[in-house]
Structure 1
Amino acid sequence: MVVQHNMQASNASRMLGITSGQQAKSTEKLASGYKINRAADDAAGLSISEKMRKQIRGLDQASTNASDGVSAVQTAEGALTEVHSMLQRMNELAVQAANGTNSESDRSSIQDEINQLTTEIDRVAETTKFNETYLLKGDYGKKTIKIAAHDAGLAGTLTQNTTKATFTMDALAMGDTYTIGGTKYTIGVEGNNQADQLKNALKVLGTKAQDSDETTDTNIKTLSVGEVVKIDGKSFTIANTTNADTSEVKATQLGLFASMGSTIEYNGKTVKLFNTATGPAADKGGVDEKDATLITAAKAYQLIANELRSASSIGADKVINPANAKFGTQDITVSDATTSTGTVDAKLPSQVKNYTIGTTTTPATKVSFTLTKGEAEVQNDLTFNLHVGSDADMTNKIGVTITDMSSASLGIQGLNVADATGKAATYAIDAIADAVAKVSAQRSSLGAIQNRLEHTIANVDNVVENTNASESRIRDTDMAEEMVNYSKNNILQQAGQAMLAQANQATQGVLSILG
């Protein structure tokens, strides 16, 4: 029996210390709700869960970023809704101004409202912002944009690329009609004298007088006895001899009844001769001196070029250059809009689409006008990125691009409908249509981004939820399981204390020996 080493008490004390330590940890886990309160609790679990926490908190912020992006996009799209409404009203006003029942003062009143709407579009573009970021006025710096060309309502086909526009139409021949700027023009029959004009007229109609100097052409037939030719509204029957009383005329003597300025009809076709002998292009700018709607093909091409130029200059910073015209492979000279003359290459008057003369066997059938598209200087596009992920990958960025939505960028800057004829208003309709299409494209782009962001938010929130669940399994205390451990350790602690007390009492027997 010894008193220096009470091994029973030492053992009981050691076990009590272990139980007390386990009890303390169990109490900590139950009190904190975490089963990892320090790295020593689960070194690997701590490392894994901290990475998950980083992802969770990053994705939570990413979801917020995406939601802020939706708000910004909705702000811009809402402002563009009003821009759309104003453009629709401007289109309505332009259609109204194009009507011929309006006077110039009426169009001036309409112009006042268009000016106000244009100013408001600029104000909306200038002031719409989200969190101090202006959304619709572009970014710092300037760029030059091309303004879409328009066909001015002319009969033909307009094609365009990024810099050029080409209008292609059927070549005009004597006797053709063509509407330019709302006015129907007739291409008159030219000639150096009355006989020359009549000869050309008959060729256009597909006939020829029975004279020996006429060349043979498969497209031109000799007038036959009994056929009817109408001159200035009066019918004449082709006969072997001329008799004015019976309205009979020999084919070679049609010039007795047809003079300069006459209208000749044959087989459903109609042509009109000019009232000048030397050709109106020489002294009247290609316009008949008695009929302003009777013009040469050269004058028609000049008017067409100027119409294309005017219609395509709307919204441009300056009037675009005159169109370059070609008749087949040969150039046509169309004068500047400030002058009234127009000329055609000397070879061209003999080349018309419905008959050939001399050695020309393959006349051109198309005329093309090529012009350089107008330009406007506007702000650079606004571009910003929404970071919608927890990592630095560039794929976690969603780019948002919003173009300058000012009147200059929309191509309606300086829009004018207040002319005397209503042509300017007619051309303005096309310019407004282009502006509506541009705003529609921008709104469509913003709507697509918003839909994408909503899917992004849903996906991020799903990832956060599932990562949270995984992190919880690593870090959170299972309260039921831990209570079992706590109760066990509590009982063991009490038992250990009792056993330690008993072990300490065991050495008391030494006193009885000493006594």
Structure 2
Amino acid sequence: MVVQHNMQAMNANRMLNVTTGQQAKSTEKLSSGYRINRAADDAAGLTISEKMRKQIRGLDQASTNAQDGVSSVQTAEGALTEVHSMLQRMNELAVQAANGTNAESDRQAIQDEIDQLTTEIDRVAETTKFNEIYLLKGDKGTKTINLEAHDAGLKGTLTNNGDGTATFTMDAIKTGDKVAIGGKTYTIGSTVDEAKALIKAPATGTVDVQIGDKTFKIDNTGKVMDADGNQLYVETKDGQTAAATFSATSNLTTTQKFNNDQGVATDNRAVSVDNLKSYVKGGVTVKVGTESATAMTDVAGAADGVDDNDVTLITKQKAYELAGKELLAANSIGDTEGHASVKNGDDTDLAFDKGDGSFKINVAQAKVANTLSFNLHVGSDADLTNKIQVNIDTMNSDFLGIKGLNVKDENGSAATYAVDAIADAVAKVSSQRSALGAVQNRLEHTIDNLDNVVENTTAAESRIRDTDMAEEMVNYSKNNILAQAGQSMLAQANQSTQGVLSLLQ
């Protein structure tokens, strides 16, 4: 027996210290709620947990970013709702102005309202903002855009080349056709010779020929008959040709007279195709079968492609000139850069005696602010795939192609062309709203996905970092009992050395 070293007490004390240390850790875990309070508690677990915490907090902020993005998109889209409403009202007004029952004062009143609506569209574009960011004003810098090409309501094929030019080819027109240009209807006239050329013998059978108010029949031999099929003759005077007398007197008969002495027809002659042609002069309409031609009176030296007696009777090339001018009027709407122009397909300028129905169009252009672009960061990492880009064009009257819209001309043509320009503007706003709506739908799915990832990652991080209170309470109770037992054993071990004293007595 020794008194210098009490091994039992030392052992009991060591085990008590271990138990006390474990009991202290359990107390810390139970009071903090964390299984890992310092790196020493679980070095690997701490690393994994902090990585997850980074992801969770990053995704939480990404979800907030996406929600802010939805709010900004809704702000822009809400403003465009009002722009759409104003454009619809402008369309209503333009249709009203295009009606021929409006007086000059009526169209002026309509113009005044359109001007106010245009100004309001510009104001909305200039002032709509979210968190001090102007959403519909565009970005810094400018660009030149091409507006849509228009066919001015003409029948034909319009092709937008996409480079600031377009081509338009009118449907084929021929002599006698009715053509609507600029709200007016014209008849395509012909020269006298072109009208005469319709009068000829058919290849087979007979053909009906109407010259002015007179009706004839011509068979395949060239015989000329009246409407009932009786051969026609013309009375002549001695020494005069049938053609000259025919054109001057128009004396026709279906009865051939004979010279009593010689028994031959000398006083009357059969009417020929050439006789009929002598009827044709300026202002006379010739109809042969389904073809028709009205001979024009257009005095040489003062020719302008318009009949001198009927302004609705024009030549084919005059029709092309008028069509070209209407194309220019329709394509000049919204042209703030002076780019709009129209030429014939062969690069000649519009004229009453040029053109073939094909046109080269330089479309209207406008200078506008660059497209506003901003990125929404919707992930916890620096990966660029976590960016969602939002693009918003400036929505002012220049971009929409309605700058300086005019509906107050005399016959309503300008208002008619304005309807097309407004339709293009409505389509542009619809396209932008559609794009914003698509982004909003995408962001809503993004938010749902982010929140789902955060929830599941948080659950995983909790399993690593958080204290299982029930399990730890079991450990705490165990260590509490062991501490009490250790204290008791230490007391017993210290008491055991008292027996050595009895040997000294």
Q: Report the Cα distance in structure 1 between the residues aligned to 2:341 and 2:435, rounded to whole angstroms.
A: 36
Q: Decide whether aligned partners of structure 1 residues 33 and 150 sit closer, same or farther in structure 2, where only a CA change above 3 A counts.
A: same
Q: Could you tell me which amino acid in structure 2 is paired with residue 496 of structure 1?
A: G
Partner of residue 331, structure 2: 312
The one of 258, 269, 276 equivalent to 2:280 is 258
Count of aligned residue pairs for this structure pair: 462
Deviation at 1:502, TM superposition (A): 0.9
Greater Cα offset, 181-190 or 91-100:
181-190
Partner of 1:241: 233
Matched residue type, 1:333: T
Change in 2 beyond 3 A, CA 1:227/1:391: closer
Query: Paired residue for 1:273, among 270, 278, 295?
Result: 295
Residues 475-484 or 248-257, more deviating: 248-257
Residue 352 of structure 2: aligned partner: 342
Between the aligned partners of 1:87 and 1:164, the Cα distance in structure 2 is 26
Shift in Å at residue 161 of structure 1?
2.1
Q: Deviations over 1:310-353 (max 9, x none)?
A: 10111111444532323xxxx37343xxxxx53328xxxxxxxx
Contact 1:156 1:168 in 2 (8 A): yes
Give CA-to-partner distance per residue, 1:379-436, whole Å, 9 cap, x none: 0000000000000000000000000100100011111101111000000000000001
Measured in 2, the distance between the counterparts of 1:247 and 1:408 equals 73
**Take 1:370 and 1:451, find their aligned partners in 2: how far apart are those partners?**
43
AA partner of residue 275 (structure 1): T
> What per-residue deviation string (whole Å, max 9, x for no partner) do you get for residues 263-287 of structure 1?
2222133211112353xxx414221
Contact 2:233 2:252 in 1 (8 A): no
SS in 2 for 1:23: helix
Structure 1 residues 125, 19: closer, same or farther in 2, change over 3 A? same
Indicate conservation of the 8 Å contact 2:36/2:465, yes or no: yes
SS at the partner of 1:265? strand
Larger radius of gyration: 2
The answer for the alignment partner of 1:202 in structure 2 is: 196
Amino acid at match of 2:394: D
Which residue of the partner structure matches residue 194 of structure 1?
Answer: none
Give the 3-state SS of the residue equivalent to 1:379 in structure 2.
strand
When residues 225 and 481 of structure 1 are mapped into structure 2, their CA distance, relative to the original with a 3 A threshold, is closer
Partners of 2:80 and 2:205 lie apart in 1 by 72
Q: Shift of residue 178 of structure 1?
A: 1.4
Q: Secondary structure at the match of 1:165?
A: strand
Distance in 1 (alpha carbons) for counterparts of 2:19 and 2:318: 112
Shifted more, 103-112 versus 239-248: the winner is 239-248
- Residues 156 and 170, structure 2, Cα contact 8 Å, conserved in 1: yes
Given residue 352 of structure 2, which amino acid in structure 1 is its aligned partner?
Answer: G
- Partner residue, 1:212: none
Residues 222, 333 of structure 1: alpha-carbon distance in 2 compared, 3 angstrom cutoff: farther
Structure 2 residue 326 is matched with structure 1 residue 325: no
| Match for residue 372 of structure 2 among 368, 382, 389 | 382
Which secondary structure does the structure 2 equivalent of 1:301 belong to?
helix
> Are the counterparts in 2 of residues 302 and 334 from structure 1 also a CA contact under 8 Å?
no
The answer to whether the Cα contact below 8 Å between 2:370 and 2:393 also exists between their aligned partners in 1 is yes
Q: Is the 8 A contact 1:242 1:253 kept in 2?
A: no
1:62-95 Cα offsets, whole Å, 9 max, x none, are: 0000000001101111111111111111111111
Change (3 A) 1:12 1:224: closer
- The within-5 A match list for 1:301-450 is 301-326=320-345, 331=346, 333-335=348-350, 341-344=351-354, 367-450=357-440
Cα pair distance change 1:332/1:21, threshold 3 Å: closer
What is the letter of the counterpart of residue 470 of structure 1? A
Q: 2:177 maps to what in 1?
A: 176
Distance 1:440 1:512, change over 3 A: same
* Alpha-carbon offset, residue 2 of structure 1: 1.7
- The amino acid across from 1:160 in the alignment is N
Q: Give the superposition deviation at 1:245.
A: 5.5
SS across alignment from 1:53: helix
Q: Which residue of 1 aligns with 2:131?
A: 131
Retained in 2: the 8 A contact 1:95–1:426?
yes
SS where residue 136 of structure 1 aligns?
coil
- RMSD of the TM alignment (CA)? 1.9
Partner SS state of residue 341, structure 2: coil
Query: Do the aligned partners of 1:69 and 1:386 also contact (CA within 8 Å) in 2?
Result: yes
Question: Aligned partner of 1:2: which letter?
Answer: V
Q: Does 1:230 align with 2:210?
A: yes
* Aligned-partner SS, 1:377: strand
Task: Supply the distance in 1 between the matched residues of 2:289 and 2:339 (Cα, whole angstroms).
Answer: 44
Distance 1:142 1:277 in 2: 54
* CA apart distance, 1:16: 0.5
Where structure 1 has 5 or more consecutive residues not aligned to the other structure, the ranges are 191-196, 209-220, 336-340, 346-365
Distance 2:100 2:320 in 1: 25
Determine the C-alpha separation between the residues in 2 that align with 1:22 and 1:451: 54
SS of the residue 1:344 aligns to: coil
CA contact (8 A) 1:84 1:439 kept: yes
Tell me the amino acid that sits aligned with residue 232 of structure 1.
G
AA of the residue aligned to 2:313:
L
Contact 2:142 2:370 in 1 (8 A): yes
Q: Which runs of 5+ in 2 are unaligned?
A: 218-223, 226-231, 236-249, 255-270
Q: How big is the shift at 1:241?
A: 2.2
Distance 1:247 1:62 in 2: 101
Contact 1:235 1:247 in 2 (8 A): no
Q: Are 1:510 and 2:490 an aligned pair?
A: no
Q: Which of 435, 445, 451 is the matching residue for 1:461?
A: 451
**Which stretch shifts more, 124-133 or 178-187?**
178-187
Using structure 2 for the length normalisation, give the TM-score.
0.88
Q: Runs ≥4 in structure 1, deviation > 6 angstroms?
A: 223-226
Over 3 Å counting, the alpha-carbon distance change for 1:477 and 1:276 in structure 2 is closer
Contact 1:387 1:397 in 2 (8 A): yes
